[in-house]
């Protein structure tokens, strides 16, 4: 056991959320400004995890899809199925073909509601797109992927009505947000830091802070706080 712990201590991690249970409480299609300038529709899982502070996971649909019916569905002018190389295509392949979940009985793949109520154990994996995509990263990136199906009974303690209201109305102070960002900047690479920061609504909604986070220069937030 001690020998295994020594070996594990020499492994590395991204610092991003990884290896956790996630229960989907709601799902919709929509856009996020931080992803492709809000031009590519996303499947957005809203949910809860007993292991990590993660409230949503996004899955890009690919070019050409449009959000319709208030986010309940997406449609494409030329096709009815997602491209295999898109993250939606990879998600469907993993859940339907590899994990064996009967998604067809729940509805169409273009309907967001089919995901509501499901739960998965998530792990971060390297995703290879191939030539022509993310060439500056060798055609590769990392993304959370489901690796196991969870039982329907969520392990997360349900919120009371008062707690739900409090969670929606209370926002962390700017000082608290910057402290959290500073801790991330110390241990993450610039790219991983910016990805993590862009998942924080407090950053995306603050234009000045967002500009500092995305600044790759010496005056940027990462450069000011990173420690080798």
| pLDDT score of 174 more than 80 | no
| Distances 151 to 23, 96, 117, 118 between C-alpha atoms, Å | 9, 16, 10, 8
pLDDT at 103 over 70: yes
Mean pLDDT along residues 33-53: 89
Q: Which pLDDT value is given to residue 168? A: 44
pTM here is 0.60
Q: Assign 130 a pLDDT band (cuts: 50, 70, 90).
A: low
Confidence of residue 228 (pLDDT cuts 50, 70, 90): low
E strand or H helix at 184: helix 174-187
Strand partners, 128: 140
How far apart (Å, rounded) are the C-alpha atoms in residues 165 and 145?
Answer: 30
Domain ranges, ordered by start, for the chain: 15-149, 171-225
Tokens of 78: 């030329």
From residue 39, how far is each of 66, 96, 107, 169, 196 by CA, in Å?
Answer: 10, 27, 26, 28, 20
Query: Given this model, what pLDDT does residue 149 score?
Result: 96
| Structure tokens given for 113 | 């509601």
Percent of the chain with pLDDT over 90: 40
Is 65 a residue whose pLDDT tops 60? Answer: yes
Residue 18 predicted with pLDDT over 50:
yes
The span from the CA of 49 to the CA of 34, in Å, is 23
Token couple for 102: 């009967």
User: What is the reported pLDDT for 154?
Assistant: 45
Exposure class string for 88-117: b at 16+ Cβ within 10 A, else e = bbbbbebbeeeeebeeeeeeebbebebbee
Contacts of 143 (CB under 8 A, 6+ apart): 87, 124, 125, 127
Q: What's the confidence (pLDDT) of residue 158?
A: 46
- Segment among 27-31, 108-112, 173-177 with least mean pLDDT: 173-177
Tokens 């991330």 belong to residue = 184
pLDDT higher than threshold 70 for residue 135: no
Question: What Å distances lie between residue 129 and 2, 140, 228, CA to CA?
Answer: 39, 6, 31
Residue 69 pLDDT class (50, 70, 90 cuts): very high
pLDDT digits (tens, 9 = 90+) for 189-215: 888 888 888 777 777 777 778 888 888
Tokens of 136: 């500056």
Residue 176 scores a pLDDT above 50: yes
Could you give the CA distance from residue 20 to residue 17 in angstroms, rounded to a whole number?
8
The Cα–Cα gap between 34 and 40 comes to 10
Residue 4 has pLDDT above 80, yes or no: no
Indicate whether 141 pLDDT > 70.
Answer: yes
Distance CA 79, CA 64 (A): 9
């Amino acid at each position: 056991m001690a020998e295994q712990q020594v070996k594990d201590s020499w492994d590395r991690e991204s610092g991003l959320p990884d290896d956790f249970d996630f229960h989907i409480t709601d799902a919709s299609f929509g856009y996020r400004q931080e992803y492709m300038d809000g031009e590519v529709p996303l499947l957005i899982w809203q949910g809860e995890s007993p292991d990590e502070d993660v409230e949503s996971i996004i899955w890009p649909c690919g070019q050409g899809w449009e959000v319709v019916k208030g986010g309940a569905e997406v449609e494409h002018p030329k096709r009815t199925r997602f491209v295999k190389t898109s993250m939606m295509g990879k998600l469907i392949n993993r859940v339907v073909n590899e994990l064996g979940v009967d998604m067809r009985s729940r509805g169409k793949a273009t309907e967001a509601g089919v995901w509501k109520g499901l739960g998965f154990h998530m792990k971060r994996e390297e995703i290879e797109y191939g030539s022509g995509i993310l060439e500056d990263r060798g055609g590769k990136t990392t993304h959370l992927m489901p690796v196991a199906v969870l039982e329907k009974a969520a392990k997360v303690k349900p919120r009371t009505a008062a707690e739900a209201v409090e969670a929606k109305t209370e926002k962390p102070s700017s000082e608290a947000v910057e402290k959290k960002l500073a801790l991330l900047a110390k241990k993450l690479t610039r790219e991983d830091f910016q990805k993590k920061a862009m998942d924080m609504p407090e950053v995306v909604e603050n234009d000045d802070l967002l500009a500092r986070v995305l600044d790759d220069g010496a005056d940027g937030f990462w450069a000011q706080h990173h420690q080798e």
